[in-house]
Structures are given as C-alpha cells and as structure tokens.
Amino acid sequence: MEKWLVAAKRADFKKIAETFGIDQVTARLIRNREVVGDEAIQVYLHGDRRNLYSPWLMKDMEKIVSILAEKIQEKKRIRVIGDYDVDGVMSTYILYQGLKGAGAEVDYVIPHRMTDGYGINEHLIEQAWEEKTDAIITCDNGIAASRQIERAKELGITVLVTDHHEVPFEENEGKRQEILPPADAIVNPKQADCNYPFTGLCGAGVALKVMDALYQQMQLEEDITDLMLEYAAIATIGDVMELVGENRIIVKEGLKKLHHTTNLGLQELIRVNGLEPEQISPYHIGFVVGPCLNATGRLDTAKRALKLLCAKNREEAAILAGDLKNLNDSRKEMTAQGVEKAIELVENSELINDKVLVVYLPECHESLAGIIAGRIRERYHKPAFVLTKAEEGVKGSGRSIDSYSMYEKLCECSQYLTKFGGHPMAAGLSLEEENVEPFRKKLNECSGLSEQDFIEKVMIDIPMPINYINKKLIQEMSVLEPFGRGNEKPVFAQKGLQIQNPRVFGKNRNVVKMRLADTAGYSMDAVYFGDGDQFLEEIKGKNDLSVVYYPEINSYQGRDTLQIIIRHYQ
C-alpha cells in the first residue's frame, strides 16, 4: 500500500530563482527541503567549512578541553573507548589520531560485540585501571553508562564522555528528568541544557568538535577538522544521520577530501570494491564502504577496521581491505538467509497481525539483527525488532517508522528488558528468553499505531511534465547533493503516459527499459528497476501510466541522452 502526496510548500519561487540564479524548479526543491530564508538558502547552496558552528557552543566543551590539555601536559595515560559500528570506529579514529597529534599518551579500545556488548562496561573499566589508565574518553557511547562510569570514578579514573545518543530520562510527576552519568565532562548536544544549535551530529561529528576545540585551545598548527572531515563524513552516512544543516556540510566537504584520500586503508578498501576514489558518493559509503567497515564489528572484531585506517604501508592495507571485503560478502549471504527466515515466520504465524513486529530468530548471528530488522521494516512498513539468542539471554535490534518513537516505547516496556538504548528510529536491547512473548504483547498493546501509519507515503516534490526536463536543469539540480536521509533525491511525477516497447533485462529480470510518451506525442527513454515481469503484467493493456520519477543524463559512447528513472508507478 502506498499513498502519493505532493509537497505543496509555498514561497516566492520566482524571486528565489532570480536572487540565486537558479531555475524555479530548483527553488521549489530547496523549499521542499525546509530550507527557508535567503541566508539558509545561501548556506545550502554554497555552504562550506566556514559555516560549521563553533565547537565552544557545546555544553562542557571548555571543561573537557582543559582536562584533556592538562592530561596531555602531564603525560597521563588516556584511553579512547569507542564502539564497534562505523560511527564508533570513525570517532575512535578521530579521537585517537587527534590526541596523538596533540602529543597525548593515548591508546584505544573498541568493545567486542559478543563479549563486551555495546559501549563501555565494568570489565573495560577494570581493565583500564589495571593498565594504569588515568583518563577514559568515550565516543559514540557513554551517555547511558551511569553505573559503569560510577565504578570508574570509584577507582579514581577521570571520565570524559562524548556521545550523541539520546539522554536517558525519568518521568517525575510528568516532568522529564535527565539521568546523566557522573563523568568529569559530558559533551552531547542532545542534553536539554546544551545550547549548541544543531543536535543531529553523529558520534564522530561530536568527537571532531572536541578535537577542533582542543587544537584551538592548544594553538596547534595542524588543521584537525580538515584532516578528519572524511572520517566524520563516512560516519555521518554510516550512522544514517539526516543530511541537513551541519551534517550536509560535513558530508559535502568530507566527500571532497575522500575523493583524494591519502589514507592507505581507505584507498585499498575503495579499490578492492572496484570503485574509483573520485566517484565515491553517499550511496557507495552507505552500501559498500560502510558495510565493509561494519562487517568487522558484526562478524569479527572492529579492531580490524581501525587497523585498516591506521595501516602504515600498502601491503598491510591491501590485506586488511581484502579481509574486510570477504567478511562483508559472507555477512551479506547470512543476512539474506536471516531475512528469508524472518519473513517465513511472520507470514506463517499470528505475527502478521501485529502492529509492532517482534521476530525471534534464535539461530541468527546476533550482529545481523539490525540489518534484518531494517529489511523487515521496509517490507511491512511496520516497526520491527529482530531478536537472537546470545551467550546470555536474548539480544536484539529494532528499526522504526516515522510515526513510532522506538526508544520511548522501549522505556514504556522496560520492565521486560535487562538493557536497552538508542534513538527514535533505531534501538538495541537485551532481555531474558521468557520475556520475549510478554515484551511482544506489551509493545503491541502500547504501540499507539493505527492502520494509517502503515501506508507508505511517497512524497512527490513537483508534478512536472517530462517535456520540461532538459540537460541544464538536471545539471543544476546537482547543487542539492549530497543526497541521503533528510535530503532526498528530488522526485517528480506525471500522469497519462503511454508505454512504448517495454523490454525486460538483467539475469534476475529486474530492469525494464521502455519509451514513455505524453499526450502530445513527446517521448523519452525510461528505466524501472524492480520485478520486471510483474511490471509487464500490471501495465498490460494500459495506456495511462502515472509515474514518480527522477531525470538523469545517460552518457553512452560519448553521446548524452535524457532519461527518467521510474521510482513508483500506478
């Protein structure tokens, strides 16, 4: 089920077009992305590093920087404790390299997914103490680790938290009270009393801000932001942050750096995947490079990903990159099997009627739960949790839909959980096996969802006849890049098209090529990616196809032609 909606947002498009020398179509697209006002449009179109906010606006920034500077001066041992996903690895790299560059005695630990679980824990704290660590700095984790950080404080360890996860809270007489860990400094723009203007940074974004401030404070010559932007960009896409505001600038500028990366590990990882550094887009990061870096955290230890980034020579980098690619290939296969099993379970049980899907796959590798949950959510357009049997109890991951704030709902069901954390759109959890069913029941009782929420909404930017498309407009639309979550690729729509000469291609018969003509006879090439035979079946005998599409320039043998890519059809 899907519902097509047109984003009918208003503004003086003629004036915007004139002011910025752009087509009115582009002006509308920018308005649809909630960019309003000349200043915001200017930054959206031409923003660069100078438009990043000052790190000093973040709560506790002065505190964390002065503690770090002191520890560096006194040659105290600092340990970075990160996390095993792309964001966790990138933020660890940023803090580790940044602190090393500032002269710190620093090492890092990335928790092992299976033996440690998510983020900092008691075992890692005891270990830090035994190894005479003076200060721990967390990244991409820590905000929810009050108990563990209390232990570290008892042992006399300085603890600095940098994180971007939701701050845990308690409801007291209808008032929301944050539960903050007893750390020496906490940098997380999601804290209620942090005045930083942008709360959407990933863990690596926050880590980069801390290093930026430290380098300013210590008056170091190196431009740390410039050096680390590409890593922050990879993490921003890998953690599926919204590509708006500062994040869009980090990704836009970081991609430029990545196109000429001097990091041997990244060079080799790009190469083994058959890509050219200069053509890397958010798509490649999200679906090729990122998953390879993630695969280590999933199936092995994420330390390998960090080793890759730190590789000193090409040979070492090539071996590690090859390992990562192989791990990712086997992860893909295992994921496909898991998805298949999950669908089978949903469709052959009462789960199919649930509003929130809780699928228990005891045999599945726990590290794949998140990816499988994502696929299940896509298929049914319902919030989905995938649970697996862990060494102790049951562990799982959830992926949500817009109308369902997953983290808050878990708070309501916390009586069945031993551990949980996350965001509105994604969460992780642990529980006892006997609580799987009660948890599923309770989640469904308090879901607050109605059938309306399960209808996929297809937002159309502008109803635009295909004869309006020209090469210049398509080229101009590239100023809207990079595309991704929160800054979607523009889509247009037209009704009443006639299909000429449809042909199915591809070994999985998943590409359909055709010619589409409007009522005046104007025609253009079109491509649909999806089930080709089903497409042919559905259009049989029809002469008024409606499509949601985006236009593209197809360069083939030195000749440029216009074509449209069909995203949805009716």
Contact residues toward Mn ion (CB under 5 A) are 87, 140, 203, 239
> Rounded to an integer, what distance in angstroms lies between the CA atom of residue 98 and that of residue 91?
10
Least Å distance, CB 139 to Mn ion, is 9
> Rounded to an integer, what distance in angstroms lies between the CA atom of residue 3 and that of residue 134?
57
Closest residue by beta carbon to Mn ion: 87
Tokens 């295909």 sit at which residue? 466
Least Å distance, CB 428 to Mn ion, is 11
Least Å distance, CB 166 to Mn ion, is 11
Phi, psi of 327 (to 5 degrees): -60, -40
Least Å distance, CB 141 to Mn ion, is 8
Which one, 140 or 166, has the nearer CB to Mn ion?
140
Helix, strand, or coil (residue 280): coil
- Report H helices in 399-470: 406-412, 436-445
Cis, peptide link before residue 291, omega less than 30° from 0: no
Closest CA to 398 of 352, 359, 341: 359
Least Å distance, CB 239 to Mn ion, is 4
H, E, C per residue of 492-558? EEEEEEEEEEEEEECCCCCEEEEEEECCCCCEEEEEEECCHHHHHHHHCCCCCEEEEEEEEEEEECC
> Rounded to an integer, what distance in angstroms lies between the CA atom of residue 33 and that of residue 461?
9
Name the token pair of 475: 């080229």
Which one, 140 or 268, has the nearer CB to Mn ion?
140
Which amino acid belongs to residue 376? I
Which one, 422 or 482, has the nearer CB to Mn ion?
422
Phi, psi of 566 (to 5 degrees): -85, 120
Least Å distance, CB 368 to Mn ion, is 18
Least Å distance, CB 73 to Mn ion, is 30
Name the token pair of 152: 């570290």
DSSP labels for 351-398?
GGG-SSEEEE-TTS-GGGHHHHHHHHHHHH-S-EEEEEE-SSSEEEEE
258 contacts 277 by C-beta, under 8 angstroms: yes
Name the token pair of 242: 């919204």
| Number of residues written out for the chain | 570
Least Å distance, CB 383 to Mn ion, is 20
Closest CA to 244 of 40, 58, 400: 40
Least Å distance, CB 232 to Mn ion, is 12
Which one, 139 or 548, has the nearer CB to Mn ion?
139
Least Å distance, CB 83 to Mn ion, is 7
Least Å distance, CB 483 to Mn ion, is 21
Which one, 163 or 184, has the nearer CB to Mn ion?
163
Phi, psi of 525 (to 5 degrees): -70, 145
Least Å distance, CB 395 to Mn ion, is 18
> Rounded to an integer, what distance in angstroms lies between the CA atom of residue 462 and that of residue 47?
25
- For 36: left if phi > 0, alpha if psi spans -120 to 50, otherwise beta; the answer is beta
Which one, 239 or 268, has the nearer CB to Mn ion?
239
> Rounded to an integer, what distance in angstroms lies between the CA atom of residue 553 and that of residue 557?
13
Helix, strand, or coil (residue 451): helix
* Cβ-Cβ contacts under 8 Å for 172 (sequence gap 6 or more): none
